[in-house]
Chain A
Amino acid sequence: MSGRKRTLEAISFELVMTVIAIIALIVIIAPSLVVLIVSFTSGFSLKFPPPGYSLRWYAELWDAWQLHFAAKNSLIVALWATGLSVVLGVAAALAISRSPKLSARLLDSLFMSPLVLPALAFGLAALMLFSLVGLPVSPLTLVIGHTVVCVPYVVRNTVAALAQLEPTLLESSAVLGASRLYTFRRIVLPLIRPGIIAGAFIAFMSSFDNVPVSLFLRDAATDMLPIRMWQDLEGKLDVTIAALSSVLIIATVVMVAIMERVTGLSRRLTN
C-alpha cells in the first residue's frame, strides 16, 4: 500500500521537475530559433511566422557598410583586448594560484571584481580618467577598458587549470634537473593550455559583445557592433538586424562546438 503511494508521489515529483526543466530549456533555445526563422522573411516586418521566405535581408546585410565598419572595429578591439588579457592574466594567475599568502587572496578578489561591479559605472569612470589626462577616446582606450572587464575570465580559467595540476609533476621535473623555465614550457603550459584557451575564448566573446564600457569609450570613428545594433533597434525595427543576428548566432554555435572539442568547455564551466 505505502509502496504504491510512494511511487505515485515519486512520479509526481519527477514529472513536475522534468516538465519545468523542458519548458526552461525551450525558453532558453527558442529565441535564437525565432531569430533564425524571421531573418529569412520576405516581408518588411518582424511578423512571426513570416508571410514568405527569401534571402533579401542577407543581401541587404551584404551592403550594410555601417555594420561592416562597426564589426571590423569590434573584431580588432576584441583581438587586442584578448591578447592583452592573456599576457597579463596568465602571469597573474601563475602568481596567485598556489600562493597561500593574504596578498594573493586580495589580488584575486581585485582581479575578479570587474565581474560583479556595474560595468557602466566603470565605463564612466574610465572616460573621466582619460579625459582628465587628456587622452581622447580611441581604439586604444577601448582596448584598455575592455581588457579590464575581460581579464577576469582568463585569470579565473587559468587559476582553475593550475589548481588541477599535480605539484609532484613539477617536483619530479625539478629533481630530474629541469630548469623552472623548461618545466614551465614542457610540463605546465601544455597542461594548462586548454584552460587558457577557454578563458581567452570567453574573454574574446565578452569583449566583442561589450556595451557598457564601449558606450563611454568610443566615438563615431570607432563605432562598435553591439552599440550600432542597439542604436539601430532603438530607431527602427530593421529586419537586417535579424539577418546579422542569425550570422552571429551561427558563428557562436560553430565557435562553441570547436571550443568544446579543443578545451572541453562544458566540463570546464561546471567543475
Chain B
Amino acid sequence: MGAAPAPRDVTSYGMGLAAPLALFFLVFFVAPLLQLLWLSLHNDTAALHWGLGQYLHFLTDPFSLSVLGSTLLLGAEVTAVCLVLGFPIAWLYQRVGPKLQTIIILIVLLPLLTSVVVRTFAWIVILGRQGIINATLQSLGVIDTPLKLLYTQFGVVIALAQVQMPLMTLPLITALGRIDSNLDDASCSLGAGSWRTFFRIVLPLSLPGVIAGCTLTYAAAITAFITQSLIGGGQMLFMPMYLYQQASTLQNWPFASAISIIFLLAVLAVVSVFTTLGRLSRGYGGA
C-alpha cells in the first residue's frame, strides 16, 4: 500500500535477449540433431521401417567396433602427449617475465588460429619420405632407406598433438596462475624437494585445468577429420571418415546417422567422465 514499486534491477538484462539465438539453435541445431536421431532409428534408407537395425549392425560388426575403438584410443594417446608436453610450457610461463609470457602465449596461440589444413600440410612436409626427419637421419647415416612416418599411428598422434596443443596449454596456464605461490615456498621450506612439491602440491592443485585441457583436447582430437585423413591416409580409418564415407560416398544416411549418434554419445560419455572428475578435483583442491 503506497509502497514504492521495487526498483528494477539495472545490472542484468531480460532473458528475452537470448530468444533469437535460442530460436536459431532450436531450428538449426536441435531440430537437425533430432532428425538425425529419428533417421538412425529406421532400418531402411527410405525411413519406412522403425527399428534398431542400424545400431545392431554397428555393434555386432567387428570392423565398425574396431574403428570406434581405434578412434577412442587415438584420442587418449593424443591427450597424453599434449599433457606431457603442455604442462611444462604452462610451468615455464609462470616463471618468466611479462615479455616472455606474451611470446609464449603467442607461440601457443598461433597454431590454434592457423588453418588446420595448413598445419596438417606442414606435417606432411616434415614426416614425408623426403621430409626433415628422414633427410636428417639419412645424412647422419642412422638409416639407409627413408622411414615410413606418414600414414602411421605415430605420425597421426604427433601431428594431432601439435594441432591440439593450445587447447591443453591455455587452461593449464590459467590453472597454474591461480595457485598461490606461497604454497610452493612453504612446501620447500618444510623440506619437500622440487619434484615432491610438484607432484604433491602443484599437480593436484592444477587438476581443474588439467581436466579442462584434457576434455577439450580429447574431443578435438577424435573429431579432427582433416589431420586424421591426410596423415593417416587410406589405411587408417577413424570415426569421422567412416561417417563421411557412409553418408557421402555410399549415401547410406540411416547408418551414417547411427554412426553419428554413437560417436556423439561416445564423446558425451568421455566429456561427462572428465566433468565429474573435474567436480571431484575442485573439492580436492579446496578452492
A residues whose Cβ falls under 8 Å from a Cβ of B:
6, 9-10, 12-14, 16-18, 20-25, 27-32, 34-35, 38, 45-49, 87-89, 91-92, 94-99, 101, 103-104, 107, 110-111, 113-114, 116-122, 124-126, 128-129, 132, 144-145, 147-148, 151, 155, 167, 170-171, 173-174, 180, 183, 202, 205, 208-209, 211-212, 215-216, 226, 229-230, 233-234, 237, 241-242, 245, 248-249, 252-253, 255-256, 260, 265-266, 269-271
Cross-chain contact A252 with B124 (CB below 8 angstroms) = no
A13-B193, A13-B195 are known; give 15 further A-B pairs, CB within 8 A: A17-B92, A18-B88, A24-B89, A25-B107, A31-B122, A32-B122, A96-B18, A110-B22, A117-B267, A120-B240, A144-B28, A230-B230, A234-B230, A242-B125, A260-B102
| A265 vs B108: C-alpha distance when bound (angstroms) | 12
Cross-chain contact A48 with B113 (CB below 8 angstroms) = no
Which residues of the other chain, A, contact B31 by a CB distance below 8 angstroms?
Answer: 129
Cross-chain contact A242 with B121 (CB below 8 angstroms) = yes
Q: Interface size on B (CB < 8 Å)? A: 93
Partner of B21, one of A91, A120, A124, A128: A91
Task: Of the listed stretches B52-60, B62-70, B256-264, B279-287, name the one at the interface; the rest are far from the partner chain.
Answer: B256-264
Cross-chain contact B86 with A128 (CB below 8 angstroms) = no
19 intermolecular pairs with C-beta atoms under 8 Å apart: A10-B188, A24-B86, A25-B89, A29-B110, A46-B124, A48-B135, A110-B22, A110-B25, A110-B30, A111-B21, A116-B215, A121-B33, A183-B10, A211-B226, A237-B128, A242-B125, A248-B118, A252-B115, A260-B106
Tell me the nearest residue of chain A to B33, going by C-beta. A125
With an 8 A cutoff between CB atoms, is B236 at the interface?
Answer: no
| A245 vs B117: C-alpha distance when bound (angstroms) | 8
Which residues of the other chain, A, contact B177 by a CB distance below 8 angstroms?
Answer: 270
Interface contact tally, CB-CB below 8 A: 287
Smallest Cβ distance from B185 to chain A, in angstroms?
12
> For the complex, would chain A's binding face be called helix, strand, loop or mixed by DSSP majority?
helix
Tell me the nearest residue of chain B to A259, going by C-beta. B113
Cross-chain contact B118 with A35 (CB below 8 angstroms) = yes
Cross-chain contact A116 with B21 (CB below 8 angstroms) = no
Cross-chain contact B131 with A132 (CB below 8 angstroms) = no
Partner of A209, one of B15, B16, B92, B115: B115
Most chain A CB atoms below 10 A, which of B123, B132, B257: B132
Tell me the nearest residue of chain B to A148, going by C-beta. B29
Which residues of the other chain, A, contact B128 by a CB distance below 8 angstroms?
Answer: 46, 237
Which residues of the other chain, A, contact B165 by a CB distance below 8 angstroms?
Answer: 24, 27-28
| A48 vs B267: C-alpha distance when bound (angstroms) | 38
Cross-chain contact B17 with A91 (CB below 8 angstroms) = yes
| A27 vs B29: C-alpha distance when bound (angstroms) | 37
Which residues of the other chain, B, contact A111 by a CB distance below 8 angstroms?
Answer: 21, 25
Smallest Cβ distance from B85 to chain A, in angstroms?
4
Partner of A170, one of B10, B111, B115: B10
Which residues of the other chain, B, contact A121 by a CB distance below 8 angstroms?
Answer: 33, 36, 243, 260-261, 263-264
Cross-chain contact A6 with B29 (CB below 8 angstroms) = no
With an 8 A cutoff between CB atoms, is B41 at the interface?
Answer: no
Tell me the nearest residue of chain B to A8, going by C-beta. B193
Smallest Cβ distance from A121 to chain B, in angstroms?
4
Cross-chain contact B106 with A256 (CB below 8 angstroms) = yes
Partner of B119, one of A16, A20, A31: A31
Smallest Cβ distance from B274 to chain A, in angstroms?
10
Which residues of the other chain, A, contact B261 by a CB distance below 8 angstroms?
Answer: 121
Cross-chain contact B84 with A20 (CB below 8 angstroms) = yes
Cross-chain contact B121 with A241 (CB below 8 angstroms) = yes
| A96 vs B244: C-alpha distance when bound (angstroms) | 36
Within 8 A of A (CB), among B115-174: 115-119, 121-126, 128, 130-132, 135, 161-162, 165, 170, 173-174
Cross-chain contact B162 with A31 (CB below 8 angstroms) = yes
Cross-chain contact B106 with A266 (CB below 8 angstroms) = yes
Cross-chain contact B230 with A167 (CB below 8 angstroms) = no
Partner of B88, one of A24, A28, A226: A24
Cross-chain contact A49 with B114 (CB below 8 angstroms) = no
Tell me the nearest residue of chain B to A228, going by C-beta. B117
Most chain A CB atoms below 10 A, which of B14, B122, B230: B122
Cross-chain contact B115 with A129 (CB below 8 angstroms) = no
